[in-house]
Amino acid sequence: MFFKLVSPGGGPADARHDERLIALAAEEGPTAMVWQAQQGLVVPRNYQRYATFGPTNEAFARGGWPVTVRQSGGGIVPQGPGIINFSLAYAVDGKPLDHSDQAYQLICDLISDTLAQAGVACRPQAVEGSFCDGRYNLAVDSDSGPRKIAGTAQLWRRHTLADGSGFRQVVLVHALIIAQADIQTMNDMANRYEAALGSDKRYQLGRLAQVADYGNWPTRTEAGITGWLMETLAVKTATIRPQ
């Protein structure tokens, strides 16, 4: 079955908005969503280990940067204008670990193939010093080394079917794409949050890039670049079956 595109609804959504795709994928087949989230910070569950977690979140919420705890792994990521979220969910047979790399490769291929249409060359690799680093980042080359333009994470769930006939293993693999965003603010907010928690993690601005600074774009407005990427990703994804 091909991926079915699910509408995110109107306006920026909650940062965990795509988790609803898991049940849809189990019951109806492969689903996908291209969407944007409200401004804020998103962290994995292991950040809850810090004693200052609650008070820090309250302070950041008052400053216009609410913190959401997501179910997938990785590290801290900012959300907001000019950032695209791309989510795929589908069921598999067998153990999740046997399919994890394939899920990452699928989402990376869809993004890199879409960006190639605009003359942006990128590849999966770790980018040391970037927030939420991992080997399935997407990076572009620069004079100072690779820079991250997208990061990925995934979540697996054993979903019981609505009719009680059994269960399926479902993967939600999602990516954050820095289309045309304020990378200075993104990096600063991630560092400020880590410092407020008492963490020793710090991220380097020079390890990030926005897609808008690469390739050939007919318009350099946020709406033009972000809108083109969202539309083109959606069209391409609707022609793909999960591996």
Active site residues: 132
Cα(19)–Cα(173) distance, integer angstroms: 10
The tokens of 180 are what? 């045309």
Per-residue three-class SS string for 36-78: CECCEEEEEHHHHHCCCHHHHHHHHHHCCCCEEEECCCCCCEE
Q: Are 60 and 32 in contact (CB under 8 A)?
A: no
Q: Are 60 and 41 in contact (CB under 8 A)?
A: yes
CA atoms within 13 A on the CB side of 185: 15
Rg (CA), the chain: 18
Cα(66)–Cα(82) distance, integer angstroms: 18
Q: Are 162 and 80 in contact (CB under 8 A)?
A: no
